[in-house]
Amino acid sequence: MNLGIIGCGAIGTDVAKAADKMEEIEKIYLFDINMAKAKKLYKIIDKGEINPVEDFLENVEVIFEGASQQAVIKYAEKILRAGRDLILMSVGSLFDDSFRKKLEKIAREKNCKIIIPSGAVFGIDGLSSASIAELDGVTLVTTKPPSSLGKSYNKRTVLFEGNARDAVKKFPKNINVAASVSLAGIGFDDTIVEIVADPVVTRINHKILAHGKFGRLRAEVENMPNPNNPKSSYMASLSAIATLKRIVSPIQIGA
Protein backbone atom coordinates (compact mmCIF):
# COMPACT_ATOMS: atom_id res chain seq x y z
CA MET A 1 0.00 0.00 0.00
CA ASN A 2 1.15 3.54 -0.75
CA LEU A 3 0.38 6.37 1.66
CA GLY A 4 0.03 10.09 1.05
CA ILE A 5 0.59 12.60 3.85
CA ILE A 6 -0.69 16.17 3.78
CA GLY A 7 0.98 18.17 6.53
CA CYS A 8 4.52 17.40 7.70
CA GLY A 9 4.28 18.98 11.12
CA ALA A 10 4.39 17.19 14.47
CA ILE A 11 1.59 14.68 13.84
CA GLY A 12 2.44 14.13 10.19
CA THR A 13 6.04 13.45 11.17
CA ASP A 14 5.02 10.94 13.84
CA VAL A 15 2.77 9.13 11.37
CA ALA A 16 5.40 9.10 8.60
CA LYS A 17 8.07 7.69 10.90
CA ALA A 18 5.71 4.93 12.05
CA ALA A 19 4.54 4.18 8.51
CA ASP A 20 8.15 3.96 7.39
CA LYS A 21 8.50 0.88 9.62
CA MET A 22 5.31 -0.85 8.45
CA GLU A 23 5.97 -3.68 6.01
CA GLU A 24 2.57 -3.19 4.40
CA ILE A 25 3.43 0.34 3.29
CA GLU A 26 5.73 0.58 0.29
CA LYS A 27 5.92 4.32 -0.37
CA ILE A 28 5.09 7.52 1.49
CA TYR A 29 4.32 10.65 -0.51
CA LEU A 30 4.83 13.89 1.40
CA PHE A 31 3.30 17.32 0.93
CA ASP A 32 3.32 20.49 3.00
CA ILE A 33 2.76 24.10 1.93
CA ASN A 34 5.96 24.75 3.88
CA MET A 35 8.47 22.93 1.68
CA ALA A 36 11.12 23.10 4.41
CA LYS A 37 8.98 20.85 6.63
CA ALA A 38 8.50 18.33 3.85
CA LYS A 39 12.23 18.27 3.10
CA LYS A 40 13.08 17.87 6.78
CA LEU A 41 10.75 14.87 7.08
CA TYR A 42 11.97 13.38 3.80
CA LYS A 43 15.50 13.24 5.19
CA ILE A 44 14.58 11.09 8.18
CA ILE A 45 12.49 8.38 6.49
CA ASP A 46 13.44 5.78 3.88
CA LYS A 47 10.25 5.42 1.87
CA GLY A 48 9.51 9.09 1.35
CA GLU A 49 9.01 11.15 -1.79
CA ILE A 50 7.96 14.81 -2.00
CA ASN A 51 5.16 15.62 -4.45
CA PRO A 52 2.12 17.90 -4.78
CA VAL A 53 -1.12 16.22 -3.76
CA GLU A 54 -2.47 16.30 -7.32
CA ASP A 55 0.62 14.42 -8.53
CA PHE A 56 0.55 11.55 -6.04
CA LEU A 57 -3.23 11.19 -5.79
CA GLU A 58 -3.42 8.37 -8.34
CA ASN A 59 -0.51 6.49 -6.78
CA VAL A 60 -1.86 6.02 -3.24
CA GLU A 61 -4.63 4.04 -1.57
CA VAL A 62 -4.89 6.16 1.58
CA ILE A 63 -4.16 9.81 2.34
CA PHE A 64 -3.49 11.09 5.84
CA GLU A 65 -4.38 14.71 6.57
CA GLY A 66 -2.58 16.33 9.48
CA ALA A 67 -2.43 19.91 8.29
CA SER A 68 -5.39 22.23 8.91
CA GLN A 69 -9.07 22.81 8.29
CA GLN A 70 -8.08 24.84 5.23
CA ALA A 71 -6.24 21.83 3.82
CA VAL A 72 -9.33 19.67 4.29
CA ILE A 73 -11.48 22.21 2.47
CA LYS A 74 -8.95 22.38 -0.38
CA TYR A 75 -8.17 18.69 -0.85
CA ALA A 76 -10.84 16.44 0.71
CA GLU A 77 -13.23 16.53 -2.22
CA LYS A 78 -10.45 15.82 -4.74
CA ILE A 79 -9.21 12.90 -2.65
CA LEU A 80 -12.63 11.31 -2.34
CA ARG A 81 -13.53 11.86 -5.99
CA ALA A 82 -10.38 9.92 -6.83
CA GLY A 83 -11.78 7.05 -4.74
CA ARG A 84 -9.09 7.30 -2.07
CA ASP A 85 -9.67 6.77 1.64
CA LEU A 86 -8.98 9.84 3.77
CA ILE A 87 -7.72 9.75 7.35
CA LEU A 88 -8.78 13.13 8.69
CA MET A 89 -7.29 14.80 11.77
CA SER A 90 -8.66 18.32 11.32
CA VAL A 91 -12.12 17.11 12.27
CA GLY A 92 -13.29 20.62 13.07
CA SER A 93 -13.64 21.19 9.33
CA LEU A 94 -16.73 18.97 9.43
CA PHE A 95 -18.75 21.34 11.65
CA ASP A 96 -20.10 22.83 8.41
CA ASP A 97 -23.07 20.54 7.81
CA SER A 98 -23.34 21.18 4.08
CA PHE A 99 -19.61 20.53 3.56
CA ARG A 100 -19.70 17.33 5.63
CA LYS A 101 -22.78 16.01 3.82
CA LYS A 102 -21.17 16.78 0.48
CA LEU A 103 -18.10 14.74 1.42
CA GLU A 104 -20.28 11.90 2.71
CA LYS A 105 -22.19 11.83 -0.58
CA ILE A 106 -18.99 11.68 -2.64
CA ALA A 107 -17.52 8.95 -0.42
CA ARG A 108 -20.64 6.82 -0.88
CA GLU A 109 -20.61 7.31 -4.63
CA LYS A 110 -16.90 6.47 -4.91
CA ASN A 111 -17.01 3.64 -2.36
CA CYS A 112 -14.29 5.13 -0.16
CA LYS A 113 -14.04 6.15 3.48
CA ILE A 114 -13.50 9.24 5.61
CA ILE A 115 -11.70 7.81 8.63
CA ILE A 116 -11.54 9.84 11.83
CA PRO A 117 -9.11 8.70 14.54
CA SER A 118 -10.28 9.08 18.14
CA GLY A 119 -7.54 11.67 18.57
CA ALA A 120 -6.60 12.97 22.00
CA VAL A 121 -9.67 11.63 23.83
CA PHE A 122 -10.69 8.28 25.27
CA GLY A 123 -14.19 6.84 25.14
CA ILE A 124 -15.09 7.52 21.49
CA ASP A 125 -15.91 3.85 20.85
CA GLY A 126 -18.14 3.72 23.90
CA LEU A 127 -19.84 6.98 23.00
CA SER A 128 -20.49 5.80 19.45
CA SER A 129 -21.95 2.53 20.72
CA ALA A 130 -24.12 4.33 23.28
CA SER A 131 -25.53 6.63 20.59
CA ILE A 132 -27.11 3.62 18.84
CA ALA A 133 -29.79 3.65 21.56
CA GLU A 134 -30.34 7.21 22.78
CA LEU A 135 -28.09 9.77 24.45
CA ASP A 136 -29.62 12.37 26.73
CA GLY A 137 -26.52 14.50 27.10
CA VAL A 138 -22.82 14.72 26.24
CA THR A 139 -20.31 17.16 27.75
CA LEU A 140 -16.64 17.64 26.94
CA VAL A 141 -14.42 19.51 29.40
CA THR A 142 -10.96 20.35 28.08
CA THR A 143 -8.32 21.81 30.38
CA LYS A 144 -4.97 22.91 28.99
CA PRO A 145 -1.88 24.79 30.15
CA PRO A 146 -2.24 28.36 28.84
CA SER A 147 0.81 27.85 26.60
CA SER A 148 -1.02 25.06 24.75
CA LEU A 149 -3.67 27.61 23.84
CA GLY A 150 -1.18 30.33 22.99
CA LYS A 151 -2.30 32.29 26.07
CA SER A 152 -0.87 33.49 29.37
CA TYR A 153 -2.94 33.42 32.58
CA ASN A 154 -2.08 33.60 36.28
CA LYS A 155 -5.18 31.71 37.41
CA ARG A 156 -7.64 29.12 36.17
CA THR A 157 -9.73 30.76 33.47
CA VAL A 158 -12.76 29.42 31.62
CA LEU A 159 -12.28 30.52 28.02
CA PHE A 160 -15.40 29.00 26.54
CA GLU A 161 -18.74 27.50 27.52
CA GLY A 162 -21.21 26.56 24.83
CA ASN A 163 -21.93 24.03 22.12
CA ALA A 164 -19.35 22.18 20.07
CA ARG A 165 -20.16 24.02 16.86
CA ASP A 166 -19.20 27.38 18.36
CA ALA A 167 -16.19 25.87 20.15
CA VAL A 168 -14.75 24.56 16.87
CA LYS A 169 -15.33 27.93 15.19
CA LYS A 170 -13.59 29.89 17.95
CA PHE A 171 -10.75 27.43 18.61
CA PRO A 172 -10.10 25.75 15.23
CA LYS A 173 -6.57 24.62 16.12
CA ASN A 174 -7.17 23.53 19.70
CA ILE A 175 -10.45 21.68 19.99
CA ASN A 176 -10.74 19.12 17.16
CA VAL A 177 -11.70 16.64 19.87
CA ALA A 178 -15.02 18.47 20.23
CA ALA A 179 -15.83 17.64 16.61
CA SER A 180 -14.92 13.98 17.12
CA VAL A 181 -17.08 13.75 20.23
CA SER A 182 -19.97 15.45 18.41
CA LEU A 183 -19.85 13.13 15.42
CA ALA A 184 -19.67 10.06 17.65
CA GLY A 185 -22.49 11.24 19.90
CA ILE A 186 -25.34 13.73 19.54
CA GLY A 187 -24.06 16.31 17.11
CA PHE A 188 -22.43 19.73 17.15
CA ASP A 189 -25.39 21.70 18.47
CA ASP A 190 -26.25 19.46 21.42
CA THR A 191 -22.75 18.59 22.63
CA ILE A 192 -21.69 20.90 25.47
CA VAL A 193 -18.07 22.06 25.57
CA GLU A 194 -16.07 23.83 28.26
CA ILE A 195 -12.52 24.99 27.54
CA VAL A 196 -10.31 25.91 30.48
CA ALA A 197 -6.82 27.40 30.69
CA ASP A 198 -5.10 26.50 33.96
CA PRO A 199 -1.50 27.57 34.73
CA VAL A 200 -1.25 24.88 37.43
CA VAL A 201 -1.68 21.92 35.10
CA THR A 202 1.18 20.52 33.06
CA ARG A 203 -0.83 18.09 30.96
CA ILE A 204 -3.72 18.42 28.54
CA ASN A 205 -6.88 17.01 30.13
CA HIS A 206 -10.00 15.89 28.24
CA LYS A 207 -13.05 14.61 30.10
CA ILE A 208 -16.16 13.21 28.40
CA LEU A 209 -19.39 12.85 30.37
CA ALA A 210 -22.43 11.20 28.79
CA HIS A 211 -25.68 9.62 29.91
CA GLY A 212 -28.56 7.91 28.19
CA LYS A 213 -30.36 4.59 27.85
CA PHE A 214 -27.06 2.72 28.04
CA GLY A 215 -26.25 4.18 31.47
CA ARG A 216 -23.50 6.70 32.28
CA LEU A 217 -20.08 7.22 30.76
CA ARG A 218 -17.12 9.08 32.18
CA ALA A 219 -13.86 8.98 30.24
CA GLU A 220 -10.88 11.11 31.23
CA VAL A 221 -7.33 11.34 29.97
CA GLU A 222 -4.34 13.48 30.91
CA ASN A 223 -2.18 13.83 27.83
CA MET A 224 1.41 14.84 27.52
CA PRO A 225 1.89 17.59 24.93
CA ASN A 226 3.53 16.49 21.72
CA PRO A 227 7.26 17.19 22.19
CA ASN A 228 7.32 18.89 18.79
CA ASN A 229 4.14 20.93 19.22
CA PRO A 230 2.86 21.85 22.72
CA LYS A 231 -0.54 22.81 21.25
CA SER A 232 -1.17 19.17 20.32
CA SER A 233 -1.54 16.13 22.57
CA TYR A 234 0.89 13.30 21.93
CA MET A 235 -2.08 10.95 22.09
CA ALA A 236 -3.37 12.50 18.86
CA SER A 237 -0.30 11.19 17.05
CA LEU A 238 -0.60 7.77 18.69
CA SER A 239 -4.26 7.58 17.71
CA ALA A 240 -3.41 8.43 14.11
CA ILE A 241 -0.74 5.72 14.01
CA ALA A 242 -3.13 3.19 15.57
CA THR A 243 -5.71 4.06 12.91
CA LEU A 244 -3.18 3.47 10.15
CA LYS A 245 -2.21 0.14 11.72
CA ARG A 246 -5.86 -0.82 11.86
CA ILE A 247 -6.23 -0.14 8.14
CA VAL A 248 -3.39 -2.47 7.19
CA SER A 249 -4.21 -5.13 9.80
CA PRO A 250 -6.50 -8.11 9.14
CA ILE A 251 -7.82 -7.85 12.73
CA GLN A 252 -10.18 -5.00 13.55
CA ILE A 253 -10.74 -3.99 17.18
CA GLY A 254 -13.35 -1.56 18.46
CA ALA A 255 -16.95 -0.57 17.81
Residues annotated catalytic, as ranges? 206
d(CA 26, CA 62): 12
* DSSP per position, 42-65: HTT-SSEEE--HHHHGGG-SEEEE
* DSSP per position, 155-195: S-EEEEEEEHHHHHHH-TTT-HHHHHHHHHTT-TTTEEEEE
Going by the DSSP 8-state scheme, the letter that residue 218 receives in this structure is E
Contacts of 136 (CB under 8 A, 6+ apart): 211, 212
Report the 10 Å Cβ neighbour count for 215: 9
d(CA 121, CA 222): 9
Is residue 31 within 8 A of residue 50, CB to CB? The reply is yes
Residue 69: its H or E element: helix 69-81
Going by the DSSP 8-state scheme, the letter that residue 91 receives in this structure is G
